[in-house]
């Protein structure tokens, strides 16, 4: 479980742009890296095509997991947007946090000009915010 995560400005902006590009549905994807540093972003389609819930395309998710393992990376974080909600985990986000070793990045698009991005550890229903540092 990470104490903080570091991400480059370029990857951070790519992640935010990807979720903005699918607005008003929830955008989602995976972030991979090593130690505390994100190395790669994998945008994944939301097969629910919904503004209030996401489900990653299983084929795209599997390909991302294979690629990150082949590169020697770990699944560092799972990200998704809340098109019209706060940048905090919803009850369903908490109940569906199946990867306790990965962080959860939530991007609120209430203000699309200034999206709010926050990062959390979610373990056994307990939510703890952790810093997402731009480097």
Active-site pick, 26, 69, 70, 74 = 26
Q: Distances from the Cα of 57 to the Cαs of 53, 54, 130, in angstroms?
A: 13, 9, 27
| pLDDT score of 94 | 96
| pLDDT score of 2 | 73
Sheet bearing 103-108, strands edge to edge: 126-130, 116-123, 103-108, 74-82, 28-34, 37-44, 5-7, 132-134
Give the residue ranges of the chain where pLDDT is below 50.
none
- CA-based nearest residue to 50, from 89, 81, 94, 79: 81
| pTM (predicted TM-score) | 0.97
26 is catalytic: yes
CATH of span 5-134:
3.40.140.10
Question: pLDDT per residue over 59-76, tens digit each?
Answer: 999 999 999 999 999 999
Q: What is the 8-class DSSP label of residue 26?
A: P
Q: What is the 8-class DSSP label of residue 35?
A: T
Provide the H-helix boundaries in the chain. Answer: 9-21, 58-70, 91-95
Question: pLDDT per residue over 81-96, tens digit each?
Answer: 999 999 999 999 999 9
* Domain boundaries along the sequence of the chain: 5-134
């Amino acid at each position: 479980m990470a104490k903080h995560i570091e991400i480059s400005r370029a990857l951070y902006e790519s992640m935010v742009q990807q979720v903005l590009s699918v607005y008003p549905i929830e955008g989602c994807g995976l972030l991979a890296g090593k130690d505390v540093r994100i190395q790669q972003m994998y945008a994944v389609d939301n097969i629910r095509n919904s503004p209030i819930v996401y489900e990653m395309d299983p084929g795209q998710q599997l390909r991302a997991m294979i690629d990150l393992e082949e590169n020697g990376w770990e699944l560092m974080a799972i990200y998704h947007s809340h098109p019209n909600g706060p940048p905090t985990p919803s009850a369903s986000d908490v109940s569906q946090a199946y990867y306790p070793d990965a962080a959860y990045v939530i991007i609120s698009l209430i203000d699309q000009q200034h999206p709010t991005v926050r990062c959390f550890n979610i373990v056994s229903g307990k939510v703890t915010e952790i810093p997402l540092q731009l480097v």
